[in-house]
Amino acid sequence: MVKESIPPADDSTSAPAAVDKPNAKKTPKEKAPALEDKPFNDFIRQDYLPALKAALISQGLGDLVLNFDEKQLPILNLNCWQVSGLWMDGQRQFNLAFPDGDIQGAKVFTIASHGSQPSTLEPFLIDERKSTLDLLVLGIVKRLNGQKWLARN
């Protein structure tokens, strides 16, 4: 018969000591909310406008003026939030409209030159599942470059 040896009880501690287990589940740290999860107006004013301005200035638009206002969208006569950019003493202009007041909702792009009103509305980033800060900035830069308004190709 085999005898088991049981160590004497230690009276100095009444509770069992905590043991670090390498495979123990740790509570996940809370992630900071994504920029795009901010309220719409805060995201546009605090994050989008500065990022867009920096990107367009780096493309050579030194006299760029960006605005964010709720105003009438040409052609549709619909009031909605719009980011508008003017440069070359107002000779070139673009508008990015948010009819739903949400960066994940519908977006409409217009351009105009020489002080005229936009004559066409273009859907903007319609194939993207989620609009991010980088996508919104890149979309404007690519569209203006496609118009040959940024760099001469």
Q: Quickly list DSSP for 73-129.
A: ETTTTEEEEEEEEEETTTTEEEEEEETTSSTTS--EEEEEETTPPP---EE-STT-S
**Tokens at 40, concatenated:** 């719409």
**Tokens at 25, concatenated:** 């589940």
pLDDT top residue among 20 and 151: 151
Q: How confident is the model at residue 28 (pLDDT cuts 50, 70, 90)?
A: low
Give the model's pLDDT for residue 18: 54
Give the model's pLDDT for residue 73: 84
- What number of other Cβ atoms are within 10 A of residue 149's Cβ? 19
Res. 5: pLDDT tops 80: no
Res. 153: pLDDT tops 60: no
Residue with the two structure tokens 């030194």: 62
Residue 72: DSSP 8-state: E
Q: pLDDT tens digits for 136-151?
A: 999 999 999 888 888 6
What average pLDDT does this structure show over 14-24?
A: 55
- What number of other Cβ atoms are within 10 A of residue 35's Cβ? 16
Give the model's pLDDT for residue 2: 52
Q: How far apart are CA 91 and CA 24, in angstroms?
A: 63
Residue 47: DSSP 8-state: I
Distances in whole angstroms, Cα of residue 12 to Cα of each of 5, 8, 17, 20: 21, 12, 12, 21
Res. 135: pLDDT tops 90: yes
Give the model's pLDDT for residue 19: 55
Q: pLDDT tens digits for 54-89?
A: 999 998 888 899 999 999 887 778 899 999 999 888
